[in-house]
Amino acid sequence: MAEIPPYNGPGGYSNYPRFEYNQDPYGRPPGVYFDSIGRAWTLVQANLATWVLSMVIVFALYYGSIICLELFVFGGMITAGSRATALPLAIFPIAIVIGCVFQILLTGLMHMGLKQARNEQIGIGDIFSAFPQSVSVVIGMFVTSLIITVGIFLCIVPGLWLSGIFAFVPLLIADKNLTPIEALQLSYDTLKPHAWSLFALVFLSGLVGSLGGCLCGIGLLFTYPIYFVTIGISYNYFFPKERPFVFNQVPY
pLDDT digits (tens, 9 = 90+) for 98-133: 999 999 999 999 999 999 999 999 999 999 999 999
Q: Which domain holds residue 153?
A: 31-238
pTM of the model: 0.81
Give a yes or no: residue 181 inside a domain: yes
pLDDT at 166: 96
pLDDT at 19: 35
What is the C-alpha to C-alpha distance for residues 10 and 106, in angstroms, rounded to an integer? Answer: 50
pLDDT at 247: 55
pLDDT at 27: 63
Give a yes or no: residue 16 inside a domain: no
The half-sphere exposure of 176 on its side-chain side, counting CA atoms within 13 A, is 28
Give a yes or no: residue 94 inside a domain: yes
With beta carbons less than 8 A apart as the criterion, state whether 201 and 170 touch. Answer: no
34: nearest Cα among 238, 251, 244, 234:
234
188: nearest Cα among 148, 153, 232, 154:
148
pLDDT at 13: 38
What is the C-alpha to C-alpha distance for residues 127 and 59, in angstroms, rounded to an integer? Answer: 11
What is the C-alpha to C-alpha distance for residues 92 and 14, in angstroms, rounded to an integer? Answer: 61
pLDDT at 93: 82
Segments in the chain below pLDDT 50: 1-25, 252
Give a yes or no: residue 121 inside a domain: yes
Domain tally, the chain: 1
